Structures are given as C-alpha cells and as structure tokens.
Chain A
C-alpha cells in the first residue's frame, strides 16, 4: 500500500522531456541517483552512523541513575574491563560461540553428506532437516525451557526411560551454558543444511562422475571430493555462525537471564543488563562493551571478506 502511493507520487514528479536529451546529460542521472539512494542513506545515517558516534561519546561519559551522561570519564570504562568479571564475560562468550559453531557446522556437514547418499526423497529429507529454521529465537527458547524445566522435564523423562541419569539442564553453573548452546545449535541447524546443500548442488556433475569412475564411493567420495569442494560454503557458514553466536540474546534472556550466578552472561547479555535490565541504566559502561562487540564482529567480517577476495582472485 505504502509502496504504491510513494512510487506513484514520485513517478509523477519528474517531467519526461525528449529521451535523447536525458541520456546525454549525466548530471541528471546523478541527481536522480541520489534521490533513489536518499531513503536508504537517511535510515543508515540516522540509525547506524550517528548511533556509532554517539556510542563512542557515551562510552567516554559517566551517567546519572536514569542514564543521562553527566561527566566525562575518558577511557575509564575501558580500563575497568581489565577485571576478572569482564574476563569471565569474554570467556563465556568464547566458549558459547565455540559450543554453537563447532557442533552446528559439523552437524550440518554430516547431514548434507549423508543426504548425498540418499537416492530417494532427498529433497523431502533436506526439507525436514531445515524445519527448525522456521522457529524464532523466542519460540525455540520457550520450547526448550519446557524441555529443560526441572518439574516435568521432557528431556530428563527421555533420559529416565533410557535408564540414564537426570541432568540439571539450567540449574547448574557448569551445565547451563551448554543447554543454551544446544538450543542454539538446534535453531541454526536448518540454516546450515540449506547453505551446504546449495553448495553441494553447485558442484559440477563431472567432478563427481570422474571420482566415481576412479572408484571413490561413500565416505571416500565425501572426504576426498565433496568436502574440499564445499570449502567456500563451509567458510561462509563458519563466519556467519560465529557472528550470529556472538550476537545471541533471546535464548539467554528467556532460558537463563544470564544465570545461574552469571554463568551464561555473554557480551551481548552484559550490554543488555547494564543498559536496560535493572532499574538503573548505565549507558556508559554498556556503550563501552558495545564497542568491544563491534570490534569483534568487524574482525570476523574482515577476515571473511579477506579470504573470499583471495579465493575469487585465485580461481
């Protein structure tokens, strides 16, 4: 609706003189181009570029109890980060990221390789593995909250039936982070399967046929041919999963709220706690941490672009 009216109004405004004229004057194109880029540029300037500047400003200011900056504190928010508490937050973030990325990528790879061996119903099975992709962070988290709940834990019930010990999923400091990671791996598996399956689909048929003629089948074919050919997709998946894991928030908020005893407080969750969670808002401290997050994510992305650039040049 908005779509139609905006476009039509704009469409009516530029008069259309002789077409030959229009093509001869590049200056006209430039004005029009900036008009077309305008809406995007405005959104980016207001809600992305300006906020980054303001985050830097806030990170160097102390604030009153409702978060209004009231004094310049220089880099002291960053200096405070050299503490065991912040070290623990970074370590939790790192362990969580590894606990999500490694099983997630390996799991998706195993699924896709196994599916390659399936003659029939391959698309159907791939679709079945992709179903968790439909679940939002919140819906997946509340379902797993039911699975983990101490009262009538569905997972503990399954373990009980199998004659195994009960697991204190969310109540033990050692276990909680892994339980949140497991939920995240489940949510992300569908995406990984779709990405890698698209990669397998793009492997030229001749490559597989040549390998088969050479006698490679099953695991040999997968190990020697398919996995090396999937290099770019695997790399892409690792980087995207890492960035997503670093930004995980909803599952922690819903399942553990950062606990027990801070054992699931990651960087993003710590930003939320400092800025929004309690009655007080320490926007200065939270902004300093937001800058750390920004740098970590930037490094991951730059590494990705760097490697992909190299690949493009070599091929």
Chain B
C-alpha cells in the first residue's frame, strides 16, 4: 500500500511543479506574501499544539538534573531510560496497563456485539414499535454518564463487584452510538443480497455473522476504535469503582504517579508517554476510521 501511494505523491509533485511556478507569476508579489503569511500563521499555531507531544517524549528521555534546571531545557543532551525505570518502579504501571487493556478490550468487543445485534433488529427485522424503540435508544445518548454514577456505584458495590473487572465494564457493555452507526452502515447493504440469502434458507444469525459483519468491516472498525479509545481514556468511573492499585487502570495510575512524584517530573512524563503510545498509534495509523466514527453525527 505504501509503495503505490509514494509513487503517486512523487508523480503529483513533479506534475504540480510547473503549475505552481505559473501561478506565482500570475499573482505576483502579493500572492507570495500571502503564502508566507499563511505558513507563518500555521506555524504559530502548530508549535504550541505539538509542543506537549514533543516534550512528553523528550522529557521522558532527559536526566532528572536536566529537567530541574530553570529555565528548563527544551533539547535533550542525551538519551537515558532512568525515568521509565523509575516510573515502572514507583507505580505498578504494567499491571495497570493490563487492567486498561482488559477493560477497554472487553467493553469494545461487547459493545460491538450488542450494537450489531440491535442494529440488525432495527434494519432487517420487522416488529411493532421499531421506530419508537429506536428513538428511545437514541434518547439514552442524552444522559450524561456522571448522572448515573452514584446509583451504579451503589448497585455494583452492593453486588460485591466493587474493585473488580466486572464492576469496571458492566455499565458500558451497550451504547446507543454504536447501534446508530452500525444501523447506518447496515442500511447500505443491498436488499437483494439479503433476500437471496434468506430465500436460500440462511438464518438471521448466520447471515449477520458470515455475510453482513465481514462486509461491514469499515463501520465495525470505526465503532471499535472509537469505543476502544474512549474506554481506554475513561477516568471518573475507574477512579470511584476501584480501590486497590492492583485493580486501577493506567489513567488512575498517572494521577498516583503525579501525586506521589511531584518532585520528579521525569517519572510523570515517562508514565504519560507510556500510556499514550497505543492511542497515538491508533490516531496516526487509523485516522480515516476515527474520522468516520467521530464525525458521523456532523456530516450527513
């Protein structure tokens, strides 16, 4: 995939060269000044936006002595891993990493299943009140999660599920946003294919599992990435439902690291850098899917 797109870019570059030169002649000096201004403004915005991204990784690799000088150094003099080792020793980050992965993984898989089943019912099954039920589904999106946390906390601790994986994931196993997005995608599915499969005697679940799901991969990926990132980043719920460090998620661990190591910013930055690598990879390599998921409500 990389090779063809690279050649395409090279092609475009060589082709666009003469065009650019001609344009510059046509618009003269004013145009050049405009372009320079444009790039200056973009740089003025991009530098503060990227600085924290830059500094979290550079600061992680700095020595504590470099980090504690004032004014602080912005360029590293060397590479050292003492902050990463220190962060791993101060807080059980690897255990918390696992907790976050397990939690976000279970929530993502379960939401994909519950959303796909519900979306299938709305698109392919006829039943009374379908439209009303769908409207009720959508109305659940209006409720801020924070308004349900107190009763959910009481329910789950009452069941003895405080400080467990079950307690972390149970309230989030279904979410109407996924149903909404998958419904949009399932509606694009050619009706004739569905009819053909049904006439051939294929059951609903087999059709959903062997034909519809594989053909809906882009939508499933979009929903999955969205759900994974949001649950990986959850803060309020894991903070209240977990008690022991062994059950806490990475995000809560970052706060413990910050609270406990205030005098040692290197460890805090190292923890943040480690925590952000998976989502950074998703944003860099899966941006088109994320855009699909995020902007589904914004673009018709």
Contacts and interface: CB of A to CB of B under 8 A. Distances in A.
Q: Could you tell me the dominant secondary structure of chain A's interface residues?
A: helix
Interface residues of B, number: 113
B38 interface: yes
B50 A232 contact: no
Interface in B107-143: 109-110, 112-115, 117-118, 120-121, 125-128, 130, 133, 137, 140-143
A79 interface: no
A3 interface: yes
Interface string A100-126: 000000010011001101111000010
B269 to A, nearest CB: 6
Contacts of A310: none
A181 interface: no
A29 B127 contact: yes
22 contacts: A7-B113, A19-B200, A34-B127, A51-B151, A51-B152, A54-B151, A132-B52, A141-B258, A143-B52, A146-B269, A151-B263, A157-B70, A194-B294, A202-B299, A253-B239, A253-B255, A254-B254, A254-B258, A268-B146, A290-B147, A293-B146, A301-B141
A26 B262 CA distance: 64
A37 B251 contact: no
B127 A30 contact: yes
Q: Which among A23, A125, A145 has the highest number of chain B CB atoms within 10 Å?
A: A145
Interface of B: 13, 16, 20, 34-35, 38-39, 41-42, 45-46, 49-50, 52-53, 55-56, 59, 67-72, 74, 106, 109-110, 112-115, 117-118, 120-121, 125-128, 130, 133, 137, 140-155, 170-171, 173-174, 176, 179, 198-206, 208-209, 229, 232-233, 235-236, 239-240, 250-252, 254-255, 257-258, 262-263, 265, 268-269, 271-272, 275-276, 279-280, 282-284, 287, 290-291, 294-295, 297-300
B126 A26 contact: yes
A169 interface: no
A160 interface: yes
Contacts of A51: 147-148, 150-152, 155
A223 B272 CA distance: 39
Interface of A: 1-3, 6-7, 10-11, 14, 16, 18-19, 22-23, 26, 29-30, 32-34, 36-37, 39-40, 42-44, 46-48, 50-52, 54-55, 58, 67, 107, 110-111, 114-115, 117-120, 125, 127-147, 149, 151-154, 156-158, 160-161, 186, 189-191, 194-195, 197-199, 202, 218, 232-233, 236-237, 240, 243, 246-247, 249-250, 253-254, 268, 271-272, 275-276, 283, 286-287, 290-291, 293-294, 297-298, 301-302, 312
